[in-house]
A = this chain, B = another copy of it.
Amino acid sequence: MDHEITRSDLIHLEHIRAARERIQGMVHQTPVQVHASLNADFGAELFFKAEHLQKGGAFKARGAHHALSRLSPELLANGVATHSSGNHGAALALAASRFNTRAFVVMPTNAPAPKRAATIAYGAEVIDCEPTLSAREAALISCVNATGATFVPPYDHPDIIAGQGTAGLELFEQIGPVDLVLVPVGGGGLLAGVSAAIKALSPQTQVIGVEPAGADDAYRSFYSGERVTEHQPDTIADGLRTTLGVLNFDMIRRHVDAIVTVDDAAICEAMALYMTRAKEVVEPSGIIGLAAILAGVIDVRAKRVAIILSGGNVDLTRLPW
């Protein structure tokens, strides 16, 4: 399941434009939300790209639909498979249903209940496994061998990255150039795609990855120059516990200006603030950009700042405060 990465795998704006053509009508063009009271609080112009209102409640629908749109009818006929503890599994289920094929999703037993329920509701066949990477990979291999389904990885793949990048392209078309774009980083699919789009369209815009302090492998990779593969994530931001991908790391090094980390307390505070002021439900991973502003890690004063709200799938019975 490894990808050999060559320079030619790198995703450019043209790939992202092509991805957008392919998924048009399959996923939503999400709105950009502006809140006067938050702007007043921070003395900045904040633009929230509302991917929590995307199909399936997360940006993942973009990459999943794009990846499936690139499979041949023969491959598609055998179904698609992945492992996921959350939004990618649900997105793959949605995309499989759109392409009239089956989705097999290997899920660890500790996946958040609403994400598991959504994945099943969207029609996936869920295969339970222990919550370790080796158990996930073993279950996936055995599923692929048994069914002939095509593995669609959650982030470390050019088609996925190009699909997620459409969020950046759309954002630019909606609000024009900004000073800063803040993007959550877990596996790095969204950050790799969005940074490629934004840097091509507006080279002077700073693109900043935001990561939980308790899952800071992208931060350490970025500043050491070597991809960290061992880490024990400990954060409420369940969507950002994954390890930075290979292709993702390569692209992020080229296009991203900085990666910052924030602790879970700031994530909780940002989540409560956005839910109270904007009356919108966002998940911890989704609101991490605002958490970085709240924590004072990023100076936004008098700037135009775009914040990608990556998802809104949260267990409302288990809010983190």
A82 vs chain B, min Cβ distance (A): 23
A286 vs chain B, min Cβ distance (A): 10
Give the distance in Å from the alpha carbon of A317 to the alpha carbon of B319 in the complex: 8
Interface positions of A from 87 to 133, Cβ below 8 Å from B: 114
Query: A282 at interface (Cβ–Cβ under 8 A)?
Result: yes
A101 vs chain B, min Cβ distance (A): 21
Query: Which candidate, A156-164, A215-223, A271-279, is the interface stretch facing chain B?
Result: A271-279
Is the CB–CB distance between A321 and B312 below 8 Å?
no
- Among residues of B, the one whose C-beta sits closest to the C-beta of A275 is B281
Binary interface encoding of chain A residues 276-302 relative to chain B, with 1 for a CB under 8 A from any of its CBs, else 0: 101111100000000000000000000
Query: Which B residues lie within 8 Å of A186 (CB)?
Result: none
Is the CB–CB distance between B281 and A279 below 8 Å?
yes
Give the distance in Å from the alpha carbon of A52 to the alpha carbon of B53 in the complex: 17
Contact check: which of B53, B280, B317 meets A281 at CB < 8 Å? B280
Contact check: which of B276, B280, B319 meets A280 at CB < 8 Å? B280
Is the CB–CB distance between A312 and B114 below 8 Å?
no
- Among residues of B, the one whose C-beta sits closest to the C-beta of A271 is B316
- Chain copies in the assembly? 2
- Between A57, A272, A278, A279, the greatest number of chain B beta carbons within 10 A of the residue's beta carbon is seen for A279
- Among residues of B, the one whose C-beta sits closest to the C-beta of A117 is B276
Binary interface encoding of chain A residues 31-65 relative to chain B, with 1 for a CB under 8 A from any of its CBs, else 0: 00000000000000000000011000100000000
Is the CB–CB distance between B279 and A57 below 8 Å?
yes
Give the distance in Å from the alpha carbon of A22 to the alpha carbon of B283 in the complex: 39
Is the CB–CB distance between A114 and B276 below 8 Å?
yes
Is the CB–CB distance between B53 and A272 below 8 Å?
no
- Among residues of B, the one whose C-beta sits closest to the C-beta of A57 is B279
Binary interface encoding of chain A residues 302-321 relative to chain B, with 1 for a CB under 8 A from any of its CBs, else 0: 00000000001000110101
Give the distance in Å from the alpha carbon of A176 to the alpha carbon of B279 in the complex: 26
- Between A52, A312, A316, the greatest number of chain B beta carbons within 10 A of the residue's beta carbon is seen for A316
- List the interface of chain A (C-beta within 8 A of B): 52-53, 57, 114, 272, 275-276, 278-282, 312, 316-317, 319, 321
What are 17 A-B residue pairs whose CB atoms fall within 8 Å in the complex? A52-B279, A53-B279, A57-B279, A114-B276, A272-B316, A275-B316, A276-B281, A276-B316, A278-B281, A279-B280, A279-B281, A279-B282, A279-B312, A281-B281, A316-B321, A317-B321, A319-B319
